[in-house]
Amino acid sequence: MANDAVTPDIRFLLLPLPEFALLAFGGVLDKLRFTADDEDYSRQRYCSWTILGLEPGHVVSSSGAAVQVEATVADIRFADYDYLVVFGGRSARATEALAPRYKRLLRTAAGQGVKLVSIDNASFLLAACGLLSGHRVALHWRHEAEFRASYPRIQVQSEQLYCFDRDRISCAGGTAAIDVAVELLAQACGRARALKGLADMLVDESRSSQHPLRSLDADGARGRHVDRAIALMRHLMASDRTAEQLAELVGISRRQLDRLFTASQGMTAKEYWNEMRLQHAKWRLLNSSHSLAVIADEIGVGDASYLGKIFRKRFGETPVAFREWARKVPARDR
């Protein structure tokens, strides 16, 4: 809670869910800390925050580090806060399954005028609680297909780092959480104060929601046609579009697209797209309990048997064998 006589311009509740991502949480908390004080004493003068939990104790992050809960619902008045920031867990489905436990808290906060901010896959929890109807959301690209399949009526803002839609704000996670914090602070405290401390955090600048991520591929100098094609590949991963149709969307010929991909990626556009799909399937096998049929649909393969065939050809074992191995081996040893 604030420890100074000055009334904060903006007040946050931070709600880390079990196995939350420490990067996004720490980024938001440090950005609030730098803005909150004229100096660097972490005094909560211009903005304040409270770490909320369902019960007293600690919440353990996906990395194993724990954060101390400062208050439970019984200790606070939602009317004293402006934003409730919810930090998603490691698994989208595990986060979504928390709905029965967190629904009352989230609905009470929203009902009392607190704006809800979902970080990473916390959008699955808000959607499961019926709190995203009629709203647009930004998601981590790995979760888009899964979210669209579960909540087809909720509009996903593809290729956006974050999305402000009235009283719902969503963020793809990671360091984009810092950008969201900057925007929220700028609205309440002014941009100069919102940007305070970015240099100390070794962050060059605050990014817009439309900022293109060069890190989605190892080569940052591949060219705008390849960049656009790869963004479309992620967006259309579940579709039956062909490489020819992809080239048409980019606005060049299939032959030119393949030439550009071969020069920058060492493979044709079709080969790159197939590899992207298989890597996504591998990631889903590691991070979800969904059936092979569901995962096959997500990557546009069509059926589980064909997924098994191409997965084995690429990785040397069947999806079932890979998932069984992954369950026996700790994540740090994979």
CA 76/CA 200 separation, integer angstroms: 32
Residue range 326-332: mean pLDDT, rounded: 69
Above 50 in pLDDT, residue 204? yes
Closest to 23 (Cα-Cα) out of 94, 90, 83: 90
Which of the four pLDDT bands, split at 50, 70 and 90, describes residue 215?
A: low
Mean pLDDT of all residues belonging to the chain: 90
Closest to 181 (Cα-Cα) out of 332, 334, 30, 18: 30
Gap between the terminal Cα atoms of the chain = 41
Above 90 in pLDDT, residue 30? yes
pLDDT > 90: percent of the chain: 68
State the pLDDT at residue 49.
Answer: 97
State the pLDDT at residue 302.
Answer: 81
State the pLDDT at residue 163.
Answer: 96
- Secondary element (H or E) of residue 272: helix 269-287
Q: Return the SS3 of 16.
A: strand
The number of angstroms, rounded, from the C-alpha of 334 to the middle of its chain's C-alpha atoms is 23
**DSSP notation for 79-116:** GG-SEEEEE--S-HHHHHTTHHHHHHHHHHHHHTTPEE
Which of the four pLDDT bands, split at 50, 70 and 90, describes residue 246?
A: very high
Above 50 in pLDDT, residue 103? yes
- If one compares 57 and 158, the residue with the highest pLDDT of the two is 57
Which of the four pLDDT bands, split at 50, 70 and 90, describes residue 331?
A: low
Above 80 in pLDDT, residue 216? no
The single-letter code of the amino acid at 157 is Q
Across 102-111, 189-198, 286-295, the highest mean pLDDT is recorded for: 102-111
State the pLDDT at residue 188.
Answer: 95
Residue range 263-270: mean pLDDT, rounded: 93
This prediction has a pTM of 0.73
CB-facing half-sphere around the CA of 324: CA atoms within 13 A: 5
State the pLDDT at residue 328.
Answer: 78
Which of the four pLDDT bands, split at 50, 70 and 90, describes residue 218?
A: very low
Residue range 21-46: mean pLDDT, rounded: 93
Closest to 17 (Cα-Cα) out of 71, 90, 100: 90
Residue range 316-329: mean pLDDT, rounded: 88
Tell me the domains of the chain and their CATH numbers: 10-195 (3.40.50.880), 215-333 (1.10.10.60)
On whether the CB atoms of residues 290 and 280 are closer than 8 A, the answer is: no
State the pLDDT at residue 330.
Answer: 62
The tokens describing 179, both together, are 């950008």
